Copies of this chain bind each other. A is one copy, B any other.
Amino acid sequence: MAGEPPSRVGGDASGALVWSVGDVDSPVFARSALKMLQALPLVETGAADAFGVTDAELALACASHSGEAVHVETAASWLERIGCDETCLACGPHPPINEAANRALILAGRSPSRLHNNCSGKHTGFLTVARRLGVDIEGYERPGHPVQRLVLAAMAGMAGIDRAAMHVAVDGCAAPAAAFPLKGLARAMAQIADPSSLAPERAEAARRLDQAVKTNPLMVAGTGRPCTAIIRAADGAASVKTGAEGVFVAVLSELGLGVALKIDDGAGRGAETVIATILAALGVVPAEEPTIAALIDAPVLNTRGKVVGARRPADWVAPAVREAFGATRR
C-alpha cells in the first residue's frame, strides 16, 4: 500500500513514498488496475481526437466493464467508427459480469461475444491507436507491435521504472500483462493525479482520462460494482480501478496523491474494503454514504439473506492513513 505526491517526486524518476505498509518493492501483476496507464497512448498519439472518441468511450477504455447493454453498445459503435468490428478484438468471449445481462443473453439464445469481455473497451482503444499510427491491426495485442510498444513504454515511464526490467506476461484478454512494484504503481497514479511534471501531451492525456473516468463511473465497471460506487461517491475527487488478485488503485487529483494496494491473499473482498477505508479516511468519499459504508463494514450474508458475519478493515488502517497524510479533503 503506497501513496506518493508528485510534488515530492520532482525531477527524480525514483519517486518519493508518503506512506507504505508491507512489501511495496516486489513486482506484482496489477492486471486491470493498469488500464488508465494502458489508455495513455490513445489520447497522447492524437488517436482519440482523430476518431472523435468521447469521454464515455475513454472511460470504457479504462474499464473492466460488466457487459451490460451500455458497455457492449458503446464498444460496438466505437469499433464501427474506426472501421472495425468484434472480430478485430483479440480478447476472447466470456459471460457478462453483470448477472442480469448474462441472464438476458441466455434468454435471447445468444452466446457471449468478445464485446462482452470486460476488456473490450481497452482493446478498442488499442485498435484506435493502431488506426492512428496507420499500422496493421493484426497482432496489435502482442508486446512487439507498435501499439503495445507505446503502451508498455507509457507504463514504465509513469511508474519510473526501466522498461527492460519490467516483466511482461500474457493477460486473460491476450494483451501484455506487466509486473512492477506497488511503489511504482502508486507513483504512476500520483502522476495522473498531478501531471504537472509530465511532458505536455502526456499531462493532457492523464488529465483527460482522469476526467473521463470521474464523469462516467458506470462505464468503468457497472451496476453494483465497487469502482462505480466509489467514483460516484467521490463526486469528482477520485478515479479508482480494481485489478485481479486483490489490487486497487486510486487517483486523487484534489490531493495530488496516488494510491496502490494489493491484498496478498489475492481476493477482491479485502482490497475493496481497504480502498474504501483509505479514501474515507482521506475525506475523499463520505464514510456514511450507503454504498461506501457497505464496503467498509461489509455484511456477509448466507443464502437465506441473513447476516452471518462482517468484513471490516483492521482498526489501525484509518488512523494510520490520517496521520500519514495529514491534511485531508474535508
Contacts and interface: CB of A to CB of B under 8 A. Distances in A.
A282 interface: no
A6 B94 CA distance: 47
A76 interface: no
Interface in A157-185: 169-174
Interface stretch (A144-152, A216-224, A264-272, A287-295): A264-272
A93 interface: yes
Contacts of A171: 302, 308
A279 interface: no
A266 B171 CA distance: 23
B103 A174 contact: no
B303 A174 contact: yes
A106 interface: yes
Q: How large is the interface on A (under 10, 10 to 19, 20 to 34, 35 or more residues)?
A: 20 to 34
B304 A174 contact: yes
A134 interface: no
A305 interface: yes
A103 B95 CA distance: 11
A92 B307 CA distance: 13
A306 interface: yes
Contact of A306 (B94, B174, B304, B308): B174
A109 B92 CA distance: 28
Contacts of A94: 303
Contacts of A228: none
A199 interface: no
A162 to B, nearest CB: 24
Contact of A106 (B93, B107, B169, B266): B107
Interface of A: 90-94, 103, 106-107, 109, 117, 169-174, 264-267, 302-306, 308-309
